[in-house]
């Protein structure tokens, strides 16, 4: 079963998260955006990568800095032992990084910033093509499409992923996609986080990408930032399910 989920990783989770580490990104972070182009991390100082067992290990998810000490990522990215998670942020010398980090803004509750036909950008690390891994942050521009159109494309492809109001579809299946390997990465409209990559199509670049709709998770995010309980992070927001 595929799950589109949103999770919030925070050093403030005293019980839930222990020993979260933050550091700068290295020049050798792998790229997992298909059909996109290189992006300068200095222009996206909210972009994070999640590693296990230290910064030298391969990252397993992307994320977005949305407030000091808060990283927005996919819910299933938090199905690991929290004390093993290492978060990389920024690209400058450690003495300069903290002053240059920039939190990304979140989508408006009414969803006016993620209407169909609006152009969005996906950021992440992963496959540059079907087999080759890159070594820099990459981005790809995709158009947000109506869920009704998206659902038909999936149905026509005999893919039973559910496309409902809790997700955003982006891309026309024209060879540009976030593909596998970028869970937790942001879907952005003018540096506003409108979606989080979680589910993926088996045919990269053929079907639209499906993203958890951030505007539907605003209450949860606000609650956590106010000191509320995360509950079960693997069940925070579930949408786009399929058998």
Residues 92, 148, single domain; the answer is no
Please state the domain count of the chain: 2
The verdict on residue 95 lying in a domain is: yes
What is the per-residue pLDDT for 152?
94
What is the per-residue pLDDT for 73?
84
The verdict on residue 33 lying in a domain is: no
The verdict on residue 243 lying in a domain is: no
What is the per-residue pLDDT for 238?
34
What is the per-residue pLDDT for 181?
47
Say if residue 106 is exposed, middle or buried (CB neighbours under 10 Å; 0-12, 13-18, 19+): buried
The verdict on residue 198 lying in a domain is: yes
- Rounded to 5°, angle at Cα 168 from 164 and 173: 105
The verdict on residue 6 lying in a domain is: yes
The verdict on residue 14 lying in a domain is: yes
Residues 129, 155, single domain; the answer is yes
Residues 85, 133, single domain; the answer is no
> Domain containing 149 — which CATH number?
2.40.10.10
Comparing C-alpha atoms, which of 179, 170, 164, 184 is closest to residue 73?
Answer: 184
Residues 116, 158, single domain; the answer is yes
The verdict on residue 118 lying in a domain is: yes
> What domain range is 211 assigned to?
112-215
Residues 117, 99, single domain; the answer is no
Helix (H) or strand (E) holding 167: strand 167-170
Give the global pTM: 0.75
Residues 225, 144, single domain; the answer is no
Residues 80, 136, single domain; the answer is no
- 10-residue stretch averages of pLDDT, the chain, 243 residues long: 44 26 37 54 82 64 82 77 68 48 88 88 68 63 93 90 88 59 82 83 71 86 72 37 38
> Domain containing 13 — which CATH number?
2.40.10
Residues 12, 78, single domain; the answer is yes
């Amino acid at each position: 079963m595929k799950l589109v989920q949103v999770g919030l990783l925070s050093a403030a989770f005293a019980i839930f998260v222990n020993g979260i580490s933050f550091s700068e990104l290295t020049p050798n972070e792998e790229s997992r955006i298909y059909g996109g182009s290189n992006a300068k991390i200095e222009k996206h100082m909210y972009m994070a990568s999640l590693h296990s067992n230290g910064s030298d290990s391969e990252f397993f998810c992307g994320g977005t800095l949305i407030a000091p000490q808060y990283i927005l990522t996919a819910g299933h990215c938090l199905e690991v032992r929290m004390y093993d998670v290492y978060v990389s942020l920024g690209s400058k010398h450690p003495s300069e990084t903290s002053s240059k980090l920039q939190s990304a803004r979140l989508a408006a509750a009414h969803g006016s910033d993620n209407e169909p036909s609006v152009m969005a950008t996906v950021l992440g690390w992963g496959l540059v093509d079907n087999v080759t891994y890159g070594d820099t942050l990459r981005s790809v521009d995709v158009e947000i499409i109506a869920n009704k159109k998206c659902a038909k494309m999936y149905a026509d492809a005999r893919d039973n992923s559910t496309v409902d109001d809790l997700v955003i579809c982006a891309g026309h299946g024209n060879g540009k996609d976030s593909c596998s390997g970028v869970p937790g990465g942001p879907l952005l409209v003018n540096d506003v986080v409108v979606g989080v990559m979680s589910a993926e199509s088996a045919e990269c670049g053929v079907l639209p990408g499906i993203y958890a709709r951030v505007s539907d998770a605003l209450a949860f995010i606000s609650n956590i930032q106010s000191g509320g309980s995360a509950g079960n992070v693997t069940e925070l927001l579930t949408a786009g399910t399929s058998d």
